Every structure is written in C-alpha cells, then in structure tokens.
Structure 1
C-alpha cells in the first residue's frame, strides 16, 4: 500500500527534535500523578465526581456550573438503556420500595415520605416508559478543575463544590483515581471512572443546551487574555464581562442606544480605561460632554468655533514624506467642499475646483517635492481666488457658492493658518460652538486632523501607541453622503495603522438606513447595543440577528445595561464604575473623595 499523501516517512533513529515535536502534539510534556491532583505540564487539575442529585431539577440546571468564572470542564456521559433493561430495573426498584413500605406498615412504623415519593415517581416513570413517552439513560457527570498553582487549585475546587452544593449536587474527589478522572474528561469518549446514575429523558433534556451566559474562556493550550478592560457585570450569571477590543479582528466598535440609555456614561468609562491601558484617545464631542473629563485627566481640548481657532484643510503633515501627500490634500478638499455645499458639485465645477487647488499650491510654492511642504500652505480663500481667475462659468459659479466660507459669515473656521496643533494622550475636539451649517464640516475637519496624525508613516512603527478615535453623535456625519463615505474609509483603514474607530449614535436610522452605515457596522468587531426604542427594534434585530428574547431585553434595559456582540459571541452586561470613575463620568468633579 503506497503512503498517504500527507504521511511522513519515519525512521527508527529519529532525532530528539522529532521526538519533542511528537510529544508536543500528542500531549503535555509530563504528568505527575498524586492521590488528590494531577500536575499536567505547567498547570494542575483535580477531578470531581457528581454522586448525588436532587429529586427534581429545573430547566438549564447545569448553567451555574457552566458559568463558573474559571476554567472548568463539565463532562456528561450518556448511554441509553434498552426498554427491556429499563423495565426490568424499574420492576426491581418498585418491588424494593413496595416491600419497604409494607415492612414498615406491618411493624407499625410511620411511613417514610421519601420512600413514598420515590415509589410514586417510579410508578409514574414506569407508566411513561411503557407508553413510549420517555426513556432511561445511564448518566455520568464529572467536573475537571484547572488552576496554575496548588493554592489556586484548592480554592477553585472548594468554590466548584460550593456551586454544585447550591444545586443540591453531591460531589466527591476522585481520590487515587485522578489520572483516570482526567482522561475521562478529555474528548476521548472513554469513561475511566464508570460512576453512573439512571435518569429519564426529561432530566437530561433539562440540562441542555450546554451553553453559558458568559463569554467563553480560552481553549486548552491557549494563553489567557493579557489586555482588555472591564465592561461590566453579567446580570444573568453575575460574572465579569472582560473584553479586549485590540485582540479582535479589528479595534473598531459601534455603540447604538436611544437617548438616556447611558451610552455617554459607558463611552466615558471606555475612554478612561483605555487611557489607563496606554491608548491615545481622540474624541469628537458635539455636546461638550467630555471637556471636564479631559480637564480632570490632563487632556487637551480644541474648541472649534471659538474665537481664533482655525483649521486649514490644505495643510500637509510635516512628517509625511510621501510623494502623493499633496494629492491626498487635494482629494480631501474635494470631500470637504461637497460637505459644505451639501452635495457633490457637477463635473464641470469639480474639474474647475481641481485646477484651482493645484494653482493655489503652485502659487504658494508647494510642489510634489517634499522639501517644499514646509512653506505656508494656501487657504480656502486662495482656492476661491484661483477659481475666479479661471474666468469660466463653472469656476465663477463654484466661487460664488463658496463665498460664505471664504469671505462671508462662516469664514472664521478657515480664514487663516491652523492655530492649534493637537497633542497629548487625550484630545477632545468640541464642535458645540459651531453653527449648525458648520457642524458636519467641523467634525470632518477634526477627523481629518486626527487621521493625519494616525496616518503619518514617519511615526508608524512597533512603538507607535494604539489610538482610539471616538465619534460621538455620528449621525451628524452619517446623514451627509460625503461625510459617511469618509467615516467608512476610516473604519476600513484604521486596523492597518494600529488604530480603532468608535462610532456612537442615537439615531439608528442614519446608521442602518444607508449602505455606508452598514459598512461601518460590518467593519466593527465590537458592537454594543444599549436600550432601544420600539420603533427601531425590528430593524436592529434584523441587522444584528437578535433573538426575540434579546430584543425584549433591549426594549426593557435599564440605564447602562446592554448587549455586547462580537461575531458568534454575545453577552449581556451592566456597566459598573468605581466611585472616582463615576464622578468623572457624570461630570461632578467637586464631590469630596471621602464621600
């Protein structure tokens, strides 16, 4: 027989490297067997046997064990009994119980309530089996506890036994049989302990589905999470919801909630804990909700719309040495002017604008040579002058339409060189002082300034800090086509630059009702849903694949309660904060520390 395509010829004198590789694949490096525990590789395990069960169980009675906050293998062996064997065993059991009852009655003893209940249950079960409504199974339930040290193992075993006792389950350690117990809990389908209990179909079915309300623990052989932050507590299991956005496929996130659901509180907690984790955070703040937080932690605040605060969209980043950097600035100005005008200009005006941008750069002495980029960049009014100089109908029309932002009432934001250069671990861009006509362009300018800092290749290296860009009330940009397109490009490109984009909005329709909004959601590995309005719940349930129960939870969720979704993982949580975090998140910084 020829060798299989994937087989590898073996040699009797295989070297130490081959033997080590085989051992690494086949199992741990070594096992130390003791009466009460096993040392498996670098960790310790202990196996518990469930020897006693309650008379009655409710639905999902294994959930407390499955949701235990630690590494615990819950293994169930189920072997069906043939109807003939089941009937014979029931007859013997009923005869034994009936003889006990008659012996007590003959001797004048009081009846044993437990024996009476057992006899009645046996009679009822025999009737269901005879009618084909139920079957009997031999069931073995074993618990394998894992820990990194012996002290941790003793504590974990005690905790697991206490959890089992709360379910009226009696457990016994597999003393002197720990090796058999450990192999029994491996996926080998071999029960080396053989301690079984007969159960009927209903008792087994009530243990399923074998699912946990908490996030899954790392698989055996995989290291635990070294990063992440506390999102809150799981109301269903009282477990901890610990999540690391940077360990996912991308660090993007979306937070959807109705007004008053606690989304700003949750995002402020996320920002605070990200800062503690060394992440650099930039926040687009339309309502001045983050200014006091930034002041408290030593962050910087840039108030767009205030006197003397200007941003020049034609600035080329000083550290960007790419030959196409000037072209990127020109393309962004096309996007900005489309947002200013509320729509994309016609082709003739776009052609005139492109020529005017290049003429403005040439007049300022800035070419495609990076050595010229240190010169002062042209302004938006210089582009308008270049449009007028073309003396064409399309250029004159576009220059006239740009008048409010070049020489008119809205010129203050663009009328001069950039006055503020963002720096620091937390930068808050406030757009509250901007007029409504400038709110979307202001957010776009802020995002562009943030992106220029993230995208500068001169500072991108292994030591580059992780950056989180938070866009609060993102509906302001999403309702505009060009703004939504810019946001979707950020969502796609952030991962390659060690950055994450967090989009927060209460206007769910603007996010879910457009293709670009769907792109933002599709590129967010972390999705957080807080309380939703009844008018939007059907759309949200369809987009996120919510069950009817999850939809009801979101309709009745309290403030700060929500659902964390990431791929196939989903878990409910209640945001929790320390007293100091709470004071920072609600903006009350005057409360004494001892209160």
Structure 2
C-alpha cells in the first residue's frame, strides 16, 4: 500500500517558544517599542504612521518634483529604516450591524443600504491601506535599562521629528504611534484575522505587567509615581548587596529560590498559540483558527522603470497583503572599492575583446559608463548608495486561497518586468522581515543609487476612511470612504463645501449622505429649488414653505436657556446678556439686508435701528436681564410702530425722528413677517423651501432661516442635547451676493463647531463664491471639500484656489456625473453611489427614478466586468468612451448620480 509522505515541517508551539523565536516586542513604553533579539542588549524603535498623497492624479511635473523630494529624503538618511505597507480588509461589521439595527421609519432605507454595501463587498475586495515607517535607535551597551530607554527616547524623538519635517516637504503628514497602537500593529502582523475581530482593548493593555485587581476597589499603589532617579538608586542598592555576598552564598541562594511565574506580559498578549514552518509557507495558529503566510522576495529588477512603479503593485485589489521595504544607507567608503573592482572587470572585458579583434559587448560599455558616472556622483556628494530589500507577504485562511492570491500578485509583478520568488524554506525569516522590527532576516538586498532608489516611492494612494461613520462614496481602487463628520480626533470640524457645475450630481450626493446621517443627527436643509421635497416626504420630515406672502418666522424670537451643570448664576446671566446683544446685532444685519439698496447702511442708520430695536424689546419688558427673556417677544409690526412713532408725532418712545426714510422702506415688507413664529423645530429633518421667494427676498429668507437655526442650535447646546446637527445650504452663493449675508454665513462657519454642528454649502457659481473674502473664509473653515465636474469657464479659479495639479484639473474636466475629488487633508477620487431605495428618495424626477430602478443590477455587472478585466458581453455593454480599464483597479460605478 502506498502512503503519502508527511510534509516536512518544524512545529514551534507553546507561548514561551513562540515568543522566544518570533515575538521581539517586549514592551511599549509610551511611543517607543522595546525589542529583544535574544541578547542582553535591548533595541528600541519608533513607528510613524504616514498619510499619503494620490500619486497617480499628479501631473508629470508634479510627479517629478515629488520624486526629487524623495531623493533628498533618502540622501538625508543616516540610519536604516523600514517602510511597512499593510493592505487590510475594510472592517464593515460594525457599520453594517449599526445599519441593520436601525428601527423606526428609517429601517427600510438603512437595511436597503446595508444590502447594497454587502453586494459591493461580495464583488470587490474592499481594502484599507496603512503606511508605516519604522525608525531604529542606535544600540548601546549598558546594564541600566532605564538609562538606555531614556537615551533611546531622546534619540528617537529627534529622528522622528526630523523625518516628519522631511516628509512635510513632500506634502505628506504623519504621527507617532502610541503604546496601544504599537501593540495593535504587532497583533495585526501576527494574527490579522483575530486583530480584526477582537481588537486590543485598553483594559488588556493596562493589565500587562500588572497584578489584576477588583474593579470595585481603589488601588492605592501606583508604580508609575516613582521617578527615574529612585529606580536607579534602588538598582544600585541591589547591585551593592549582591556584591557583598560571596560566590558560594549566591549559588546557595539561587538553589534555594523557587521558580515563580511572572505577570502577564506584552508578548503574551500578541503571541500565537503555535507557528508551524513548512517549505512553502508558515502556518500561524491562534484563537480563531489558523492562517497561511507566504513571503515573496524581489530578486530581479529591469534596466529602467518609471518613477512610482510600486504604486501599481501596492494598489492591487487584494486584502491581507503586506509590503516591507528595508532601506539602509551605505557610506561612500563602503562601496567605492566594490565599484572600482566592477569597473576594472568591465574595462578588462572590453580590452580583451579588442585584443582578440572582436567588437566589445555593448552591455559592458554601458555598465562601465554607469559605474563611472555613479562614482563621480559619489565623489561630488550628489548621490548615495543604499541596500534595499523588497518583500511581499501574502496571507490566507486556506492553502488554496493562498495559492490563488500568490499567483495573482506574481502576475502583477511580472507584468512590470520584475521578478519575485517565494522564500522557500525561509518563510519564517520572511515573516520576521515583515514585522515592524526594522530587522531584515531574509536578506535578498540589492545595491541602488539615490536616483534608482527614488523610483521605489511607496507613499501612493490616499485612504481617508474611518472606522465609524457613514459611507460618502467609493474609491477607484474599490475601498469605501466611510467618514464621521463629527469625529473631532480625525477632523477639525464637520463643515463641508461642494463645488460643481449644474447637473454634476452635488444635490444627489448631499441627499444620500444626509439620509444616512439621520439616525444619529438632525439635518436642516435650506432648499432654493424644492429639490428636497421628495426626500422630506420619504423620511417623514418637516416641510416649511417660505413664500412672498409669508416668511413664517418671527425674527425677534428669544429663548430661555436651560441651566447647565456647574454653571453659576453670574455665568448664566453673562451668557444670556451676550446672546441678547448678539441678537440685536443680527437683527441690524437683517434690516440692513432688507432696507438697503446696495446691501450697506451708514453708521447713523445702523445706530438708529439699534436704538429702535432696544426700545421695541423694552416695550415688552425685555432687557439685558436674563430673567426677562422668557417673556413674549415683539414682532416686526411693533418695531415698525416704534420706528415711525416720531414721524407721526408720538414722542413716547424717545427714539428720534426717522430722517432716513427707513420706516417707509420697511412698510412694504410688513406682511411678510408673522406676529408669532408658525413652525416648531421638532423633527430630525426640516426642509425650508424658498423656491417661491422672488430673487429680492431669497437672501432675506436665507438669512432669516440661518439665524433662526443658529438660535435653535444654541438652545440645543444649552439643553445638552446629544444629537449633532447639519445645516445644509444649497446654492449658498445666493446669500453670498449680499455683504451682510456673506458676513453672517462666514461667522456661522467659524462658530458652528462649538455647538455640535456642521455647515454644508454647495454652489455651482464658484467664481462668485470664491471672489469674496467671506467665501474664502467659509472655504478655510471647511475640513471636508468635494470638487465635482467643473466647467472650463470656472476651472481656473478652482485650480488656483485649491492649488490643484494638472492631472487633477484634467480629472475634474473629464469627470462623469457623480465623480469628483474629495479631501479632508489630501485629495482622493471619489464616486457617489447609492442603493435603489436611496436613489429613489434622492431623485426628483420620474425619469431619474425610472433610470435608477435597475441600478443595483447594472452596478454588479460593471463590478464583474472590472473584476474580470474585460468588457461584459451582456447586452453588448462596453467601457465608456475614452475610459481605460486596468485590471486590479475599480472604475467608479456609473449609477445614482442625478442632481
């Protein structure tokens, strides 16, 4: 009987053996990783997380400038570094779970959106990419580990700050990882699936190297309160006591000691249960099962490559793929002799061919010229030599999946004329080389000059997605862009501006995102074209129609603030007094917008209006005293009576005669303002429709609504409400046309963050918006920016304002409906997509609704077409004209893009 021979392998099991062999991390002290390589001397690392830029959207000039900057970055290195790139699957579990748990009238929409996202994830791998730089500290020999740690912290701080400064010159940003993030990164590198499903908690990290205690009891002892000097003194006393004992006494004491287990340590938190080394892969076993890991090493490189060639491999649509680049600078003295020897060999080969009467090999002459040119640049200091190693680590849950993923990566690599071989019998060394240890165990290094090393530029792509939030769109590489506008740790504020020509899809984008935010936020829309009526009806929102017959709002309304915890009576009175003064100034701005011909009143006219406003409130018994603010507020009719009283011979109010004719101008607008506000904001979605206002009254209506919402937001903050608020102003340039309206909106953008809100403005007239100082202020206050398709007549002002490259400019001119450039810090392409129900809610015409009825089927067909790298033959569909489809990249889905 024939038997299959057992696969040779080396089984490393047990926590102690795995830690000793594979886990180098011993401790995370603040932002420093303390490593042990089996020697008594510890080594220390600092890890930077880098925010990248979109290299592919840059013009050739910008790409060349970036590569030149990367050359300067490499020439400035005096120590080795490791660049680690991790392609991780997008964590959609929490996002989908939150959607599916939605209750109430929004449940159907959220469930439909969750089903749509699952459809996308089933056809494309949704990948999130993280970029890291590992910086080592110089190894020092000392018995005092505390002193070594302090020295390493100082050195790593200086090196990290210098590298971050160099990266800022390239347009990149970054930050150092803290202790918990360092531990999480190691957990991802060893057990990626467990790290995804069971992320490291703060309680586990705090429990390392500490005794477990009861949560009901207070721990009186805190070892962190001891200073470094006290720890050093304690160590010196112990060494002195050990020195006083004789050699025999120490031996007797050692024999008498019993082996006592230690506390739970950091390595035990991240160590797998076993690691089995096979010739073709490494199998890592953990709590959730096992993973197969294989390492590919780049061994052959072509004669010439284009800068940024690594982008095509990094952006491959495959999760669970890591890239590790080890870069070590060499001094000229280390390579001069080697280069001289190679030059002598090539020169001798050429001379031998000439003596034998044969023509010299052209490759030898070219190689000799390259070496001589490199030696000359080294002598001048224009070039440096580096040893570089590039490894690709592939993970999978099964051997078949590992083989398929490995073959796809090798095909992508060979298509660029590179060659990468599996590290057979050395995959355990490959695993160590791809950990964030900064230690190249696999070798396979090659010599590169600065010019050739700069073509390895790895910081490409721009993943701006967050772990929580709502889906804004999809990235061309297939990943989702999920953002939480109110995440203050990632974003400075929740403000956003959208610039697009008419019909580009900006309204559709805002409708879909606003609908996804409704379960957790209030959305108030100022709608100049009645485009949000359908959405308002679908989500059972509140519809407010402002017309030329009535503006529905009493601009004189006040509110009585709720008492905040810990607020003194004096502080409460000060807040109320400040609000009342601000209310008076806002009313002056409103009247200036209403009564002036050019949008500006003189100072005397403003003083007269302010005096009349004060008297109007006093007539109702309302003063600066907060105790009077609960009384019934006046209205515009009462204000008109007081303002025109002196002209009618009534001197009771003492405001003086209206010599400016303001009361005559106001009289024709009195019918617009009701005696009492006719609406109550008691809905999460409120649509203010100003379509029926004529062009003269639209700025008045916008100003009134915005000021009314501002008052309500202040009231919500005073009442400590936990729901955030989005104020959406469609076509904000209508209000920007008037100086006072523009100033008020700019002030709104500056201060709304303090009240838990965000201002979203859209405009199709970018020149008018950007041509004012207030418009530029609103833009500067907006953390999120979305540029959609632009017209040739407005593209230049957009390019100047946002400092776009030629490639980004061409992208905006050629963008299809729903496509654009989105930015929080860096620009990234984004496509707006929606589920069928969301598309039905966001569309305003029957034709658009009918077009979106089968969008989900069309989207899946196009995803299949993109995934297979060839056109779908069904119904004779072909790629859009002028569009190139590249295998491994996701062309945006042409769906759900009605403005």
Q: TM-score range by the shorter chain?
A: 0.7 to 0.9
**Aligned twin of 1:284:** 526
CA distance in 1: counterparts of 2:293 and 2:718, whole angstroms: 50
Question: 1:498: Cα distance to partner?
Answer: 1.2
| Kept after mapping to 1: 8 A contact 2:530/2:689 | yes
Deviation of 1:537 (Å): 2.6
Q: CA deviation at 1:284?
A: 0.8
- In structure 1, the partner of 2:617 is 361
Structure 1 position 525, deviation (Å): 0.6
**C-alpha contact (below 8 Å) 1:361/1:378 kept by paired residues:** yes
Q: 1:240 to 1:157 in 2, by over 3 A?
A: farther
Change (3 A) 1:450 1:487: same
2:412 paired with 1:166: yes
Q: Which moved more, 1:287-296 or 1:581-590?
A: 581-590
Q: Secondary structure at the match of 1:456?
A: helix
**Contact preservation (8 Å) 1:215, 1:570:** no
Range moving further from structure 2, 76-85 or 59-68: 76-85
Task: Specify the alignment match of 2:390 in structure 1.
Answer: 141
The alignment partner of 2:373 has SS state of coil
Select the residue among 614, 636, 640 that pairs with 1:384.
640
Residue 527 (structure 1) shift: 1.0
* Residues 1:260 and 2:503 are matched in the alignment: yes
Unaligned runs of 5+ residues in structure 2 are 1-146, 155-226, 239-261, 351-359, 376-382, 564-574, 648-653, 855-899
User: How far apart, in 1, do the equivalents of 2:485 and 2:698 lie?
Assistant: 29
Secondary structure (helix, strand or coil) at the match of 2:822 reads strand
2-structure distance, mates of 1:279, 1:88: 73
Corresponding residue number in structure 2 for 1:445 = 704
CA distance in 2, matches of 1:30, 1:76: 23
State whether structure 2 residue 685 is matched by structure 1 residue 426. yes
Contact 1:534 1:555 in 2 (8 A): yes
Contact 2:509 2:818 in 1 (8 A): yes
Distance 1:280 1:573 in 2: 25
Q: Which residue of 2 aligns with 1:106?
A: none
Greater CA drift, 67-76 or 420-429: 67-76
Aligned residue among 819, 833, 848 for 1:561: 819
CA distance in 1, matches of 2:349, 2:464: 42
- 1:141 is displaced (CA, Å) by 1.2
In the aligned structure 2, how far is the partner of 1:120 from the partner of 1:257? 59
Q: Distance in 2 between matches of 1:535 and 1:121?
A: 54
Deviations 1:24-52 (A, max 9, x none): 6xx78443361325689999894622256
For residues 85-123 of structure 1, the C-alpha deviation after alignment (integer angstroms, 9 at most, x for no partner) is 5558889999xxxxxxxxxxxxxxxxxxxxxxxx99955
- 1:152-301 to 2 correspondence within 5 Å? 159=405, 162-168=408-414, 180-186=429-435, 189-196=438-445, 206-207=455-456, 209-215=457-463, 225-234=467-476, 237-247=477-487, 248-275=491-518, 278-301=520-543
Matched position secondary structure for 1:535: coil
- Alpha carbons 2:284, 2:292 under 8 Å: kept: yes
1:297-446 matches, within 5 Å, as 297-305=539-547, 310-319=552-561, 322-324=575-577, 325-342=579-596, 343-390=599-646, 395-398=657-660, 400-405=661-666, 407-408=667-668, 410-446=669-705
Q: Does structure 2 conserve the Cα–Cα contact (< 8 Å) formed by 1:319 and 1:458?
A: no
State the distance in 2 between where 1:45 and 1:455 align. 56
Q: Is the 8 A contact 2:347 2:368 kept in 1?
A: no
**1:375 Cα shift?**
3.4
1:469 counterpart = 2:730: no
The correspondence of residues 67-78 of structure 1 with structure 2, limited to 5 A, is 67-68=315-316, 70=319, 72-77=321-326
Deviation at 1:309, TM superposition (A): 5.1
SS of residue matched to 1:266: helix
Q: Contact 1:161 / 1:171 at 8 angstroms: preserved in 2? A: no
Other-structure match for 1:63: 311
Deviations 1:199-252 (A, max 9, x none): 788875544x323223167xxxxxx62224232332xx3443333332311111
Structure 1 position 367, deviation (Å)? 3.3
Partner of 1:99: none
How many residues of Structure 1 are paired with residues of Structure 2 in the alignment? 546
In the alignment, the residues of structure 2 paired with residue 544 and residue 480 of structure 1 have an alpha-carbon distance, to the nearest angstrom, of 24
CA shift, 1:271, in A, is 1.5
Following TM superposition, by how much is the alpha carbon of 1:393 offset from its aligned partner in structure 2, in angstroms? 10
Report the secondary structure of 1:211's partner residue.
coil
Check whether the contact 1:339–1:483 (CA below 8 A) recurs between aligned residues. Answer: yes
Structure 1 residue 558: Cα displacement: 1.8
Q: How large is the RMSD of aligned CA atoms in angstroms?
A: 4.1
Q: Where do 5+ consecutive residues of structure 1 fail to align?
A: 95-118, 218-223
Partners of 2:397 and 2:443 in 1: CA distance = 29
Deviation digits for residues 48-99 of structure 1 (CA, Å, limit 9, x no counterpart): 22256576755533213322565754222356764245558889999xxxxx
Could you tell me whether the CA contact under 8 Å between 1:256 and 1:504 is conserved in 2?
Answer: yes
Q: Distance in 1 between matches of 2:398 and 2:677?
A: 58
